[in-house]
Amino acid sequence: MIERDGPFILSGSNAWGGCQGRCLFVQNFPARLQKYELGLRIATCIFERVVWVAQPNIFDELTSYCIMKVLFPIFCTLALLYGVCSSCFNRGESTATSAGQQAPKDPEQASVEIRKTADGQIAAIVKNHRELQNTYFVLSSLEPADLPGPISMTNVNVTFSNECVVFQSKVDKSVVILRLPSSTCPIQSTDKAVIFEGYGLARQQDAGRYGLLLNAPGTTFPSTSDILTCNCVDESITDDASCKAGGVGATECSYSSADAEGNSAMSSANALKCSKGYYACCR
């Protein structure tokens, strides 16, 4: 069994007895490289013992002198450099992590904020969603929505059809649903869901109007007249001349537009579904 006698000398069985590292570099091993010292000292001893045992039979005096005075220091130097480089490399990796250059964080998770609009409807703005950029949903109802305050959900899945949109948090499993009456929502269970119903559900992708909701102060969003281009109109109103899409008899419509210069940042894409008794109209 090998035992350490002080910081520089190994002693023990006959195989290693009396073996003392003659390499000054190894004997003055830096403290932060202590973990390499034992391995290098064993290698040093092997090198020395092989040379001294084989010397009388294999090497002449000049060769032995060259081995011990030239090759041995070179071996020690290379061994030390290996230890230094390995230590610096490992230290550099740990320093990079501890100094604030941490492993890349996961991409920012999608979130949603749901508020009443100034005219009492429900609007939900989706944030940080790769497939729903600049997108918001608006549910129109006859009575002002029963929503005491804003609802904020983080790390959400957004699932929608033309009659229903489901926001489900992966954090606390909470669910909020905006839907038309008697619609089938794309979710397995709605037992614990907060459900809002209305006669019209709009999905709008519009960078300009999206900014109005994103930067809206207080606890409400702007009025639907400021954020929607598609609305559900009571069937009793038959004047649909202003409808660019939809019109009397149409329960749903979609409409896309861009500014005069084709600026995609100012474009909009709208989809609307209305329940019985209303027709869809995009202006």
For 125-166, write each residue's pLDDT tens digit. 999 998 999 999 999 999 999 999 999 999 999 999 889 999
Per-residue pLDDT, averaged over 225-229, amounts to 93
Domain termination residue (choose one: 42, 77, 98): 98
Q: What is the pLDDT of residues 40-58, one digit of tens each?
A: 666 666 666 665 555 555 5
Does pLDDT of 194 surpass 50? Answer: yes
Q: Quick one: what percent of the chain has pLDDT higher than 70?
A: 57
Return the structure tokens found at 121.
């409807």
Is 198 exposed, middle or buried, given 0-12, 13-18 or 19+ CB atoms closer than 10 A?
Answer: buried
Q: Is residue 94 part of a domain?
A: yes
pLDDT classification of 61: cutoffs 50, 70, 90: low
The residue assigned the tokens 């492993």 is 103
Higher pLDDT, 77 or 149: 149
The residue assigned the tokens 């329960």 is 251
Q: Are residues 91 and 120 in the same domain?
A: no
Q: Are residues 74 and 195 in the same domain?
A: no
Which domain does 38 fall in, by range? 3-98
Per-residue pLDDT, averaged over 265-282, amounts to 85
Higher pLDDT, 14 or 30: 30
Q: Tell me the residue type at 96.
A: A
Per-residue pLDDT, averaged over 8-36, amounts to 43
Q: Are residues 17 and 90 in the same domain?
A: yes
Q: Is residue 106 part of a domain?
A: no
Q: Are residues 118 and 248 in the same domain?
A: yes
Q: Are residues 168 and 242 in the same domain?
A: yes
Higher pLDDT, 170 or 67: 170
Q: Are residues 69 and 202 in the same domain?
A: no
Q: Are residues 211 and 232 in the same domain?
A: yes
pLDDT classification of 101: cutoffs 50, 70, 90: very low
pLDDT given for residue 225 in this prediction: 93
pLDDT classification of 59: cutoffs 50, 70, 90: low
Does pLDDT of 260 surpass 50? Answer: no
Residue 103: count other Cβ atoms within 10 Å of its Cβ.
Answer: 7
Residue 240: count other Cβ atoms within 10 Å of its Cβ.
Answer: 16
pLDDT given for residue 240 in this prediction: 85
pLDDT given for residue 255 in this prediction: 83
pLDDT classification of 268: cutoffs 50, 70, 90: confident
Q: Among 149, 205, 156, which residue's Cα sits nearest to residue 177? A: 156
- Cα–Cα dist 88/95, whole Å: 10
**What are the phi and psi torsion angles at 21 (to 5°)?**
-60, 120
- Cα–Cα dist 163/158, whole Å: 14
Least confident window among 95-109, 127-141, 215-229: 95-109
Least confident window among 4-13, 82-91, 180-189: 4-13
| pTM exceeding the 0.75 threshold for the entire prediction | no
- Cα–Cα dist 204/283, whole Å: 13
Q: Is residue 236 part of a domain?
A: yes
pLDDT classification of 10: cutoffs 50, 70, 90: very low
Q: Are residues 80 and 120 in the same domain?
A: no
Q: Are residues 231 and 126 in the same domain?
A: yes
Q: Are residues 68 and 180 in the same domain?
A: no
- Report the b/e string of 71-95 with b at 16+ CB within 10 A: ebeebbeebbeebeeebeeeeeeee
Measured torsion, CA atoms of residues 24, 30, 35, 37, in degrees rounded to the nearest 10 = 10
Q: Are residues 169 and 272 in the same domain?
A: yes
Does pLDDT of 39 surpass 60? Answer: yes
